[in-house]
Structure 1
Amino acid sequence: MEANVRWESGLTFQVDQEGHRYHIDVPAGEGAPTKGPRPKGLLLAGLGGCTAIDVVSILEKMRVPLDGLEVQVSAEAREEHPKIFTGIHVRYVFRGRNLPLDKLERAVKLSEETYCGVSAMLRPAVPITSEIVVEPPRG
């Protein structure tokens, strides 16, 4: 696995990774457009994507049908440099009818403690908390 990061201008960089091209950037100021997310935001997205893939895969094996899953990842960072995360919270929002809470909890636990490599890399450096929310299907 690798990523190539190339400076474009200002604080905008183009990333080529696994056949995909995207930008990383920093907020340019009030109302100014940016070309992509910030690096630490991508770290949160990586955690959310990693655990979401695990959870859906595990629930498929458990034969738990989902109407939807949204993983919301938020973090607090300290004010001084380096502005590292001081805490990360992962909120799993499951959608479906008659979803078995025990199986949802088991899938999340397996992801967090066994399968998600991103979580395993982050957990020694920053506390990660989580919660499970179950909502009815939309529409």
Structure 2
Amino acid sequence: MFFTMNENGFQTKLGFDELQISPQEDHGFRPYQLFVSSIVGCSGGVLRKILQKMRVQVDDIHISAQVQRNEEKANRIEKIHLTFMLYGENIPLGKVEKALKITRKNCSMIQSVADSINITEEVEIKDTDLPKSD
């Protein structure tokens, strides 16, 4: 990856699109947003794949991330709590909990920071009525 500076931060051209990074949210993605997004994207993708291998039918997965930062220490991320909301009919909670443990072990982003950031997970099983988009 190669990044170049611009007036508001940095940018890079990736296979999908150009990525703008800036400490100012109106000029690009903030670094902490990208960091948390990588944790969510990785763990969500791994969980999805594991559930498919376990033959657990899920209509949709939504993930909420609550982030605790420490202002006294460079505003570093100290804790990320992930809530995995799985939508579908008759989703077996026991299998999902097992899949979540396997996910944690196989998500490269979580494993990269496991010794420095407290990452916790929980799962909620929902019926097939998906929430309406705003």
TM-score computed with the length of structure 2 as normaliser: 0.89
The equivalent position to 1:4 in structure 2, one of 2, 5, 13, is 2
Residues 1-139 of structure 1: pairs in structure 2 closer than 5 A: 3-9=1-7, 11-27=8-24, 34-112=26-104, 114-138=105-129
Give ranges in structure 1 of 5+ residues lacking alignment.
Answer: 29-33
RMSD: 1.6
Partner Cα separation in structure 2 for residue 48 and residue 66 of structure 1: 17
TM-score computed with the length of structure 1 as normaliser: 0.86
Contact kept, 8 Å, 1:44 with 1:74, in 2: the verdict is no
- The alignment covers a number of residue pairs equal to 130
Identity score, percent: 25
Partner Cα separation in structure 1 for residue 92 and residue 31 of structure 2: 36
Judge which range, 55-64 or 14-23, deviates more: 14-23
Partner Cα separation in structure 2 for residue 15 and residue 74 of structure 1: 27
Give ranges in structure 2 of 5+ residues lacking alignment.
Answer: none
Partner Cα separation in structure 2 for residue 75 and residue 69 of structure 1: 19
Contact kept, 8 Å, 1:16 with 1:22, in 2: the verdict is yes
Deviation of 1:8 after TM superposition, in Å, equals 1.5
